[in-house]
Structure 1
Amino acid sequence: MGKILVFAEKPSVGRELAKVLNCNQNKGSYIEGSKYVVTWALGHLVGLQDPEDYDVKYKKWSMETLPMIPKPMKLTVLKKTSKQFYEVKKLMLRSDIDEIIIATDAGREGELVARWTIEKAGVRKPIKRLWISSQTNKAILDGFKNLRPGSEYVNLYKAAVCRAEADWVVGLNVTRALTCKYNAQLSAGRVQSPTLAMIVQREEDIKSFKPKNYYTITAKNNNVSLQWVNNNNTQSIFEESTANNILTKVKGRDAKVVSVTESLKKKLSPALYDLTELQRDGNKIWGYSAKQTLSIMQRLYENHKVLTYPRTDSRYITTDVVATLPDRLKAISIGAYRAAATQILNGRIVANKSFVDNSRVSDHHAIIPTEERPNLTNLSTEEKHIYDLVIKRFLSVMMPPFEYLQTNIETEINGEKFVAKGKVIKSKGWKAAYDREDMEDGPSEDGLKDQVLPLLKKGDTLEINSVDSNKLQTKAPARFNEGTLLSAMENPQKFISVDKDSARTLGATGGLGTVATRADIIEKLFNSFSLEKKGKEIVPTAKAKQLMELVPSELKSPLLTAKWEGDLEDISKGRKDAEKFLVDMRNYATALVQNVKVNGNKFVHENITGKKCPSCGKYMLEVKNKIGVMNVCQDRECGHREGVSRTTNARCPECKKKLELRGHGDGQIYVCPGTSCNFREKAVQFNKRFSNTGKVDKREVSNYMNKMKKEAEEGLDNPFAALLGNMKFDNK
């Protein structure tokens, strides 16, 4: 009897599968046992051929050779992982291997990693599929007991191929066309272009925004603050004369209580996490980028095995997972989670539609804890933060609703309507799982703040002590941060002007990209110097603004990529023909190239420096990325780049801002970017005092600063004397 080859996506996953399957002969590129041989990819081992592999004429970037429409498209072994590919191929073709089990990530790209490898290796052996959502021993064993035939996933593979080929044909053609036409490093794509277009449009909206004055009116007595509203319950008054008339009308008058309504409100916990929601909260609460959160989640899933599969777009679990909830709760009955988990276990788990719904789960259910008991001491700070978010959300969906008594008071002052509202908490419910009681609350819909209200009834009179008009201004729309950009990519119809039919299409197809690709798209836009960060805000560069004028308008529309994602979903379900989709993509790429060719616009580098490239002599461009500033050669074919400065984790001893490291070699200096701070010092000296990690010890900083102050007071010829002479230092 022959053996079975198990093909994982990464070495770490392969090792875990091998352990569970009792494979103990480690051969370097695979691990063998009596029944199974486990091997792995290193991400993609095989990819689509580069243009020059189809025809030598494509080696030179030229408008004359566009569009490039190779048919059929061919696969090539990727150079950086070729050694592992040939090891895997050898195993797949081994005479004693009778069957292959695909155990790559359970999703579209995971299927592509495996199938492309099998296809390039020329293997024609039976295929089965391991489809699991967590990496615990139990989940792996259960998965091997319930292997599915590979034929069930042929359509998923077709959809993955369509995605890859469409991105090649459209992305490479448009990128080459733009780069050749304007002699600049410009790139475009079906997801990155509409994403960038939204950011550029938001910046335009901010710049063209003209603030308008508006007024609100507040009446106060000793116990309550009342807000004026019109008949539509709107507080804003845009005419100063109207506000003044109301003030005149109500001043010196008392308020009569028209109605007091009390209602018991129940608020359920927010839904479980999918990847996008987790990335949003990771950014909002901890400042992590989308890419960071995905990377942290991947470690919690693969290495620690304490959370389920991260690349999911569902916020629900299926009915078959309900039976496993007690084991998952027992696993997390530790530390700060023990009380809530025990309370749920001691009661009855009600699997209601708020978190259990088969119809709202596609390939994978929401992110929840596994049955594996975690060792929190093994988690890094970042991992603890993301783990904590998932566990609290998991606990909260099984806890009672948050209950409060909402009181609304309506009063009348000389014919004008004034209102107030208050909230009395009756039961914390699921909010007891959170340290910050109001963390999950968004802004109030009516703009009224809750307050502690006195006991009042209809007909009561309130003596008014003061009535004031507050002059305010309308605010420009906020710039995107990574959290809000993820929201915009997921639901672009909420951030752009589209008709109702288009909005429905965007909502139904999941917006721009997928949960698995959005983080990479954002990173790509930063790495191509189209975006930069100002604090947490994302700002488009001058290059991005020009690029949006050069990219064909259809490619900038989120409707196009939304339609593509809908088509790909239909192909994966067998509802749409893959070949027709690819024909459409080839025709579309041809039309886009023609659009670029006839465009009469120009591109001007607005970030050119006075420094010449040491390689080719052309002037270099100054660009910013997430961690600092670089100079890059404007000539795409040269490609020379060098660092100018980077933001470090070292803190300024004076103002505590993060220091920038500038220069090269022995000439490197730490400089504070603070406008009111002049701190700068050679890196060699700074590192001697504060360790090579650049992390500043508070006591050492304090001692150092006191030493400098003493020198300043003694009148030494010290460059910091004038700055430090009158400063006081806290030794706490």
Structure 2
Amino acid sequence: MGKSLYITEKPSVASSFAEVLGIKITPRDRKRGFAESDDSVVTWCFGHLITLALPDEYDPIYKQWRIEHLPIIPKEYKYVVIDNDGVKKQFETIKALMTREDIDLIYACTDSGREGEYIYRLVYEHSGSAKPAKRVWISSQTEEAIREGIKNAKDINEYNSLSDAAYCRAKEDWLFGMNFSRIYTCMYGRTVSNVVKEEKSSVIAVGRVMTCVLGLVVDREQEIRNFVPKKHYGITASFLSGKSNLEYKGKWQPQKKDKDDEEKYIEKKEAEEVIERLKGKVAQIKKVDIKKKREQPPLLFNLAELQSEANKKFKLPVEKTLEIAQKLYERKLITYPRTDCRVISTDVLAEVPKVLNGLFKNPDYKENVSRIKEFGELRVKKTTKRFVDDKKVTDHYAIIPTYVTADMDKMDSNSKKIYDLIVKRFLAIFYPPAVYNTVRVETHIDEEVFVSNAKTLEDPGWKEVYEVTSSKEDDATNVPIHLLKKNENCKVEAFDLDEKETKPPSRYTDGSLIITMEKAGKFIEDEELREQIKTSGIGTSATRAGIIKKLKDIGYININPKTQVVTPTVKGEAIVEVVRRTAKELLNPSFTASWEKGLAMIENNETTVEIFEEKLHKYIMRTIDKVKRSKGNFNLASIINRSY
């Protein structure tokens, strides 16, 4: 009987598999690129080893960037080993192992997702091997998860639709990048360089997702720049209640003609007229509405929410958060981080007691877990759809801690912060809701209504464990207005005119930009289309941080290192303006998300590769032709100059 070959995505993951298989990887093994025992061989990739070839691999004429060569749409795509000595050596090592006579079966152990599948399939395809293969699909790197993953590995062909989607994604990005970057550089590179005062003609990098994200940043900046503040006015009345003798304040609520009307902005003159009309009149309390409000624990983290939270709380760049989360995953401390899901599946629920016991051994969380045990039966069950829902789990469930007890003393500061966020968000779901006492009082003077609000925390519930940034409720008061009585008359002691000013939207941080990319559907007016793509944002959880980083690295956006606020550069604005006037759909989030939806449909066997690629090729040909015809239709320099 021959040996089994296990191929992981990274050397660090190979160590986890080797440990389960009873193999110790020595320094000599690291150097030669694999380790083996009597029945198993473990090897590893360095992420991507193979990539799509550049256009000049198809024809040397493509070394020159010329408009007349476009569009470039290969009939068959070429792939090359990445031009790096270490990568080339490792590919040859894996290739030799895959074709070795004593290897009977191959286990694909790359990351369980589209890109991991793509990495493995390319290596297998270009090795020339015809050996049978199985797919190991896991969501954590614990010994138990790996052992179960190997035991339950399925035939690789069951993941063919995932592989098809991965190949289509790569081809799609290649076609967008190679064709649009070339045509925009050829037609508008010199124009852009003149605007930004660069000596050399600019290379304009255009990408299916990247350019759309740049458009979001530029649009927000222009919205802020063009914003005209508008003053508006409100009225605050100071009351003294007749029976309870309480002094309290109320905010005037201008009457809306319709419930759906937007907030009414009042001019100074109108507000002053209201005050004059109400002076000297008696007020009466018409409503004292006392309610208990229950606030449920927040949903578990997916990657976008984790990145956003870390960005808000710790000003960590989204790329850094992903890097930390990946390391925590490889150290077996958390589950797979590149997930869009915010719930767990019913089968994971069975592992929860083991995870809680693992956290109980950690001094940082012992008290929290003890409280959960005091509550008795776990609050989260199969029927708790807020946190457990098989229908919402796709490739991976939400990010949660594993049962492995972390040694916090061996963690750097940022790793501790990210791990702590994940653990506390997980522990919070086993706590009861936070309970607030809310009071709303309506005081009437004639037909005008003044509202007073109060909110007090009665039972912190889950807020014992998970710290939420406190934000004071608008117009909330500390006065015990719950003591006021309905129909009680009040003296009006004073009216104050409140001057306010409308504010522009906030600039994106890289954390809020990640969330915006994930929730692309909010930009789509068409309800049917919005429903279709609600699970497909701009990019994927695995790629979003890298896209933002690339935009920064190539000088299209700036990210403030202290605040993480994102702003476009002049070059970034110039490129968006060029695209807006030639192929504006490239800036449209719904357009970009619809391509992502197409890939998801391939993955789910809802469409075919042939149908997808036919639509893709037609779009590329049609749009390249449209851009070709656009030359000279606008003066970019004057447009950009007007913006500054």
Could you tell me the TM-score, scaled by structure 1's length?
A: 0.79
* Aligned-residue offset at 1:236: 5.1
User: Helix, strand or coil: the match of 2:492?
Assistant: coil
> 2:327 aligned with 1:299, yes or no?
yes
CA distance 1:505–1:194, change in 2 (3 Å): farther
Alignment equivalent of 2:130, drawn from 120, 124, 131: 124
Give distance in 1, aligned partners of 2:472 and 2:39.
59
Amino acid of the structure 1 residue aligned with 2:80: T
Alignment equivalent of 1:367, drawn from 389, 395, 399: 399
Which runs of structure 2 are paired with 1:700-715 in the superposition (5 Å)?
Answer: none
Indicate the residue corresponding to 1:170 in structure 2: 176
Indicate the residue corresponding to 2:545 in structure 1: 519
* Aligned-residue offset at 1:230: 2.5
Alignment equivalent of 1:340, drawn from 329, 351, 368: 368
* Aligned-residue offset at 1:15: 1.3
> 2:113 aligned with 1:101, yes or no?
no
Amino acid of the structure 2 residue aligned with 1:128: K
* Aligned-residue offset at 1:223: 3.4
Give distance in 1, aligned partners of 2:55 and 2:6.
33
Alignment: residue pair count: 598
Give distance in 1, aligned partners of 2:36 and 2:479.
69
Alignment equivalent of 1:212, drawn from 208, 212, 230: 230
Which runs of structure 2 are paired with 1:571-590 in the superposition (5 Å)?
Answer: 571-590=602-621
* Aligned-residue offset at 1:362: 0.4
CA distance 1:605–1:52, change in 2 (3 Å): farther
Indicate the residue corresponding to 1:201 in structure 2: 219
User: 1:18-58 CA distances to partner (integer Å, 9 max, x unpaired)?
Assistant: 11110136423011112210000001111111111111111
> 2:624 aligned with 1:593, yes or no?
yes
Indicate the residue corresponding to 1:724 in structure 2: none
Give distance in 2, aligned partners of 1:592 and 1:150.
37
Amino acid of the structure 2 residue aligned with 1:572: E
* Aligned-residue offset at 1:74: 1.6
User: 1:508-544 CA distances to partner (integer Å, 9 max, x unpaired)?
Assistant: 2422111111111111111121111354321111212
Give distance in 2, aligned partners of 1:162 and 1:451.
59
> 2:426 aligned with 1:391, yes or no?
no
Indicate the residue corresponding to 1:349 in structure 2: 378
User: 1:375-400 CA distances to partner (integer Å, 9 max, x unpaired)?
Assistant: 11111110111111111110111110
Give distance in 1, aligned partners of 2:489 and 2:423.
49
> 2:596 aligned with 1:556, yes or no?
no
Which runs of structure 2 are paired with 1:200-599 in the superposition (5 Å)?
Answer: 200-221=218-239, 223-232=247-256, 237-302=265-330, 304-333=331-360, 334-346=362-374, 347-350=376-379, 351=381, 352-434=384-466, 436=467, 438-439=468-469, 447-454=474-481, 455-494=483-522, 496=523, 498-506=525-533, 508-534=534-560, 535-551=563-579, 552-599=583-630
User: Helix, strand or coil: the match of 1:297?
Assistant: helix
* Aligned-residue offset at 1:252: 4.2
Give distance in 1, aligned partners of 2:314 and 2:456.
30
User: Helix, strand or coil: the match of 2:540?
Assistant: coil
> 2:90 aligned with 1:84, yes or no?
yes
User: Helix, strand or coil: the match of 2:463?
Assistant: helix
Alignment equivalent of 1:111, drawn from 110, 117, 123: 117
User: 1:343-387 CA distances to partner (integer Å, 9 max, x unpaired)?
Assistant: 213411132111011111100000000010111111111011111
- Asked whether the equivalents of residues 402 and 431 of structure 1 are also in contact (C-alpha less than 8 Å), the reply is yes
- Asked whether the equivalents of residues 106 and 134 of structure 2 are also in contact (C-alpha less than 8 Å), the reply is yes
* Aligned-residue offset at 1:486: 1.4
Give distance in 1, aligned partners of 2:525 and 2:355.
44
* Aligned-residue offset at 1:235: 7.2
* Aligned-residue offset at 1:498: 3.1
Give distance in 2, aligned partners of 1:121 and 1:252.
91
Indicate the residue corresponding to 1:20 in structure 2: 20
The percentage of counterpart residues that share the same residue type is: 38
Alignment equivalent of 2:41, drawn from 32, 37, 40: 37
Give distance in 2, aligned partners of 1:509 and 1:19.
37
Give distance in 2, aligned partners of 1:457 and 1:443.
26
- Asked whether the equivalents of residues 170 and 586 of structure 1 are also in contact (C-alpha less than 8 Å), the reply is no
Amino acid of the structure 1 residue aligned with 2:254: N
User: Helix, strand or coil: the match of 1:465?
Assistant: strand
- Asked whether the equivalents of residues 23 and 34 of structure 1 are also in contact (C-alpha less than 8 Å), the reply is no
> 5+ residue gaps in structure 2?
190-201, 240-245, 639-644
- Asked whether the equivalents of residues 100 and 128 of structure 1 are also in contact (C-alpha less than 8 Å), the reply is yes
User: Helix, strand or coil: the match of 1:288?
Assistant: coil
- Asked whether the equivalents of residues 214 and 236 of structure 1 are also in contact (C-alpha less than 8 Å), the reply is no
CA distance 1:384–1:62, change in 2 (3 Å): same
* Aligned-residue offset at 1:63: 1.6
- Asked whether the equivalents of residues 47 and 75 of structure 1 are also in contact (C-alpha less than 8 Å), the reply is yes
Amino acid of the structure 2 residue aligned with 1:369: P
User: Helix, strand or coil: the match of 1:412?
Assistant: strand
User: Helix, strand or coil: the match of 1:248?
Assistant: helix
User: Helix, strand or coil: the match of 2:119?
Assistant: helix
Give distance in 2, aligned partners of 1:353 and 1:362.
15
Deviates more, 1:220-229 or 1:209-218: 220-229
* Aligned-residue offset at 1:451: 3.1
Give distance in 2, aligned partners of 1:25 and 1:48.
32
CA distance 1:235–1:167, change in 2 (3 Å): closer
- Asked whether the equivalents of residues 521 and 590 of structure 2 are also in contact (C-alpha less than 8 Å), the reply is no
Give distance in 2, aligned partners of 1:478 and 1:25.
51
CA distance 1:63–1:374, change in 2 (3 Å): same
- Asked whether the equivalents of residues 546 and 603 of structure 1 are also in contact (C-alpha less than 8 Å), the reply is no
- Asked whether the equivalents of residues 524 and 590 of structure 2 are also in contact (C-alpha less than 8 Å), the reply is no
Give distance in 2, aligned partners of 1:470 and 1:448.
12
Give distance in 2, aligned partners of 1:432 and 1:106.
35
CA distance 1:497–1:101, change in 2 (3 Å): closer
Indicate the residue corresponding to 1:161 in structure 2: 167
CA RMSD of aligned residues (A): 2.0
Amino acid of the structure 1 residue aligned with 2:234: T
Indicate the residue corresponding to 2:58 in structure 1: 54
CA distance 1:539–1:326, change in 2 (3 Å): same
Give distance in 1, aligned partners of 2:69 and 2:287.
76
Indicate the residue corresponding to 2:642 in structure 1: none
Which runs of structure 2 are paired with 1:584-623 in the superposition (5 Å)?
Answer: 584-601=615-632
Indicate the residue corresponding to 1:671 in structure 2: none
Indicate the residue corresponding to 1:181 in structure 2: 187
Give distance in 2, aligned partners of 1:424 and 1:98.
67
Give distance in 2, aligned partners of 1:443 and 1:560.
38
- Asked whether the equivalents of residues 260 and 407 of structure 1 are also in contact (C-alpha less than 8 Å), the reply is yes
Deviates more, 1:132-141 or 1:252-261: 252-261
* Aligned-residue offset at 1:570: 1.2
* Aligned-residue offset at 1:133: 0.6
Deviates more, 1:532-541 or 1:233-242: 233-242
Indicate the residue corresponding to 1:147 in structure 2: 153
Give distance in 1, aligned partners of 2:122 and 2:471.
46
> 2:71 aligned with 1:67, yes or no?
yes
User: Helix, strand or coil: the match of 1:475?
Assistant: coil
Indicate the residue corresponding to 1:636 in structure 2: none
Give distance in 1, aligned partners of 2:427 and 2:548.
31
* Aligned-residue offset at 1:497: 6.5
Give distance in 2, aligned partners of 1:52 and 1:37.
38
Amino acid of the structure 2 residue aligned with 1:582: E
CA distance 1:25–1:278, change in 2 (3 Å): closer
Give distance in 2, aligned partners of 1:158 and 1:443.
50
Amino acid of the structure 2 residue aligned with 1:523: K
- Asked whether the equivalents of residues 108 and 159 of structure 1 are also in contact (C-alpha less than 8 Å), the reply is yes
